[in-house]
Amino acid sequence: MEAAFWTKMLGVLRLVFLNSWDGPMSILSILYLISLWRLFVKCGVKGWWALVPIARIYKIALCADREQEGRTLSTMAAAFYLADIIMSFTESGGLLSFGCMLLTLALIPAMLIYSVRVYRGLVRVFNRKKRWVLLWLISEFIPLAPLLWGFSSKYQPQWKAEEIRDDDVTEFFSGRKAAVLEEGLTVNLEERTAREFFRKKTLLRDIHMAIQPGHMVLLLGGSGAGKTTFLNAVNGYEPAKAEVTLNGRNMYKNYKEMQYDIGFVPQADLIRGSDTVYRTLMDTAMLRLPNSFSRPERKDRVEEVMEMFGLTPVQHNLVSKLSGGQRKRLSIAMEFIPNPTLFILDEPDSGLDGVMARELFQQLRKIADQGKIIIVITHTPDRVADLFDDVIVLAKDAKRTGRLAWFGPVADARTFFGKNTMEDIVRSVNREEEGGDGLADEYIIKYAEVQHA
């Protein structure tokens, strides 16, 4: 029985690392891995990744500028191998073995579709004709394509994976930090990184700003520019390599003490529909106000906040019966109970019509005028831009890292970008394949130069 076990295990290793261990297929498989190593080096990826099962699929996709497809394909490949391994160790004809067989059969066409997408991207990066896709599809068995592309100097990628396409932009940093405010918010963010699918990815870099009390700030940026990541770094939910201070105190070092100085309203609320508005706010007051508050003081604070957000007339209504606008105001009111100094809102106008959204932002403007700092993400900025003091514009550089393209007054932003609307500003820094003008790096450098002037 022990011999049978190790025979099966050897078969699994053969399946995962090479197509076959026997005869000529062994040589072809080794040639495939060696040529893939060479190809990776050409594309700016460490060659030894060719020896790592599953990971090499993702790295091929990086070389092809098809990261998302690579994630999906490598995940499906992992599921395929796992199912095959389970079938190797389970009784043939059993329910588990039959289920794994169905899974592998379902995965084959899906993996083929995503493989075609990845190899089409690789063909585009190497500026070759589409018929090469067919040779890449059979490359693990007949490694003609990787051999030629890996060893011949005629086959060179137009750009390298995980490398910026303009060397002047790659190493460009502003080199300037914001002076720490004794009153207000100061952000000096060097970088925010994450490890995703076998590599370290830089999500944000070189973002510095100081926001005065009483300022309402609009946060702009295209999809994937890092807006939510930036907010999570600022509020301490996902700390970055950064120094974030609020009224001179380091928020990362004093997070437990300062967490109630920050109000954060996410796009989706998690309010129970079976409670009344008043009960919801009282529960929030019990959780988020200091223990030194007496019950009458909590009640007074709840009534004050309800009046502020126009919720007093519906205080006895169930949350499930509220309109969309009322529910949004309740979400904001819950975060405002502890009277935070910094208030962050992620698309608070989502699902609201123009009139209701305008009323909501006018209320936020009143809160800012009390000396609070408010930072807001909205996908319809032009209908409320006049209510904001400043605007932050984040943009993806050529390395797809979120960078600061502008921070300052709204009117000055229009002049800086030469655009009349906030939506046109976002369009100017979006990548061309996202329907933008592809000028992110130009404005990142321009803004840094303005700061140095």
Residues 8, 88 contacting (CB under 8 angstroms): yes
Strand 199-211: give its sheet, edge to edge: 249-250, 241-246, 185-196, 199-211, 402-409, 390-396, 216-220, 373-377, 342-346, 262-265
Nearest Cα to 120, choosing from 55, 73, 53?
Answer: 73
Contact partners, residue 360, CB within 8 Å, separation at least 6: 325, 328, 329, 332, 348, 349, 352
Of the pLDDT bands very low, low, confident and very high (cuts 50, 70, 90), residue 359 is confident
Find how far residue 79's CA is from the centre of its chain: 25
Three-state SS for 431?
Answer: coil
For residue 393, what pLDDT is reported? 96
Contact partners, residue 123, CB within 8 Å, separation at least 6: 129, 130, 132, 133, 136
- Summarised one tens digit per residue, pLDDT across range 397-415 is 887 889 999 999 999 999 9
Mean pLDDT (whole number) for 283-311: 88
Instruction: Tell me the C-alpha distance between 317 and 241, whole Å.
Output: 45
**195 vs 339 pLDDT, higher one:** 339
Mean pLDDT (whole number) for 152-167: 70
- Provide the b/e sequence for 387-399 (b: ≥16 CB within 10 Å): bbbbbbbbbbbbb
- Summarised one tens digit per residue, pLDDT across range 44-53 is 888 999 988 8
Ramachandran class of 127: left when φ > 0, alpha when ψ lies in -120 to 50, beta otherwise: left
Distances from the Cα of 301 to the Cα of 260, 282, 290, 360, 437, angstroms: 15, 9, 12, 20, 49
Instruction: Tell me the C-alpha distance between 143 and 29, whole Å.
Output: 8
Residues 221, 395 contacting (CB under 8 angstroms): yes
For residue 199, what pLDDT is reported? 67
Place of tokens 């394909």: 73
Mean pLDDT (whole number) for 146-161: 88
323, pLDDT greater than 70? yes
Instruction: Tell me the C-alpha distance between 450 and 416, whole Å.
Output: 10
Please tell me the pTM assigned to this model: 0.70
Instruction: Tell me the C-alpha distance between 304 and 338, whole Å.
Output: 12
Rounded mean pLDDT of the chain? 84
Say how many residues make up the chain: 453
Angle at 434 between CA 433 and CA 440, to 5 degrees: 90
- Summarised one tens digit per residue, pLDDT across range 95-110 is 777 788 888 888 888 9
Q: In order of start, what are the domains of the chain with their CATH numbers?
A: 2-151 (no CATH), 168-452 (3.40.50.300)
Three-state SS for 192?
Answer: strand
Q: Give the H or E element holding residue 303.
A: helix 295-308
Of the pLDDT bands very low, low, confident and very high (cuts 50, 70, 90), residue 170 is very low
Of the pLDDT bands very low, low, confident and very high (cuts 50, 70, 90), residue 293 is confident
Residues 270, 226 contacting (CB under 8 angstroms): no
Mean pLDDT check: name the lowest of 99-108, 230-239, 262-271, 322-331: 262-271
Residues 242, 209 contacting (CB under 8 angstroms): no
Q: How do beta strands 216-220 and 373-377 pair?
A: parallel
Of the pLDDT bands very low, low, confident and very high (cuts 50, 70, 90), residue 327 is confident
Residues 8, 89 contacting (CB under 8 angstroms): yes
Nearest Cα to 315, choosing from 323, 306, 324, 327?
Answer: 306
Mean pLDDT (whole number) for 357-381: 91
For residue 22, what pLDDT is reported? 43
For residue 118, what pLDDT is reported? 93
Mean pLDDT (whole number) for 423-452: 87
Tokens for 430, please give them.
């979006």
Residues 57, 16 contacting (CB under 8 angstroms): no
- Top mean pLDDT of 59-73, 202-216, 264-278, 344-358 is at 202-216
For residue 12, what pLDDT is reported? 44
**246 vs 255 pLDDT, higher one:** 246
For residue 158, what pLDDT is reported? 84
Distances from the Cα of 322 to the Cα of 77, 280, 318, 328, 399, angstroms: 47, 13, 7, 9, 45
Distances from the Cα of 400 to the Cα of 203, 235, 324, 390, 431, angstroms: 8, 23, 35, 25, 9
Residues of the chain with pLDDT > 90: what percent? 39
